[in-house]
Amino acid sequence: MKIRIVVDSTFRLPPEYVAKHQLEVVPLNVIIDNQTLTDEVDIDLGGVLKAVYDGRKVSTSQPSPAAFKRAFHKLAQAGATDILCVTISSTLSGTFNAAQLAAQEITNVNIHVFDSLSTSIGGEMLVKILVEQVELGKTIPEAIEYCLPFQANSVILMAMENLDSIKKSGRLSRIKATIGNLLRVKPVIEYVRGKTHINHKFRTEKAIVAFIIERIKADLKKVSKRFIISISHAQALEKILRIKKTIEEEIKGIDIHVALEISPVVAINLGYGGIGIAWCYD
């Protein structure tokens, strides 16, 4: 049995990690003024953020089933007998459905499509757990079974620098966004088990960090064996290093992994200067 793993581009795995573990990455698309660009191929994070703040029409789209079919065929031809495909949450994108449609048309290899119910750094952690288990000799069902508690006990917090990206997406009126920015409102999006909540609003970085610390402390009390935590950003490296230092000083014994910058696909909604922190545990 030879297992290979396919992921989508929202997880932003480091190129050296992708190469070392022979992962196949299927990119999502960024659409700017009706021009379709391939994530991290035709456009990067800086280009996406510039387009957003230039007032251009920016959106995203999932990969086509054909893109997944090409990835599956490639791995099958390379000798794979089983393929595990991990996607961004089905509640956020049609990527999972596209992968399923493609898998149904492939008959010469066993394909398991796994809905991460996550994205970005949260999904990255789950992918790494699955890769770890497969490389320990687990079958795909066994690797998924090991991963499920981490998936069930996972949290992503995305803290925006301001309300500009919400305004530009049309989810907030210009007047409300202007008032909110004058008041220095910094919303925090909480993503838990496939559901998004925008019910936290703060006015200072200090308040955001205090909130994050309390959430982490609460979940640490529930940990049975492993606790994994990671932080990322949208062109705000100094900020996340400062936040990482504060959290690690407050909560002894945790080591926060600094991930790559957040995927351009995710950053469209997060905005310039935003940060993301995620953790999971069993």
- Other CB atoms within 10 A of residue 37 CB: 18
Domain with CATH 3.40.50.10170 in the chain: 3-145
pLDDT of amino acid 165: 54
For 221, the 3-state DSSP assignment is coil
Core vs surface per residue 220-238: b (16+ CB within 10 A) or e: eeeeeeebbbbbbbbbbee
pLDDT of amino acid 201: 80
Determine whether domain 3-145 maps to CATH 3.40.50.10170. yes
DSSP-derived pairing of the beta strands 82-87 and 110-115: parallel
Do 247 and 254 form a contact (C-beta atoms < 8 A)?
A: yes
Residues of the chain with pLDDT under 70: 162-185, 198-199
pLDDT of amino acid 198: 66
pLDDT of amino acid 166: 54
Domain with CATH 3.30.1180.10 in the chain: 154-281
Q: Return the CATH number of 154-281, one of 2.60.40.1180, 3.30.70.360, 3.30.1180.10, 2.30.110.10.
A: 3.30.1180.10
pLDDT of amino acid 173: 41
pLDDT of amino acid 31: 94
pTM equals 0.90
pLDDT of amino acid 108: 92
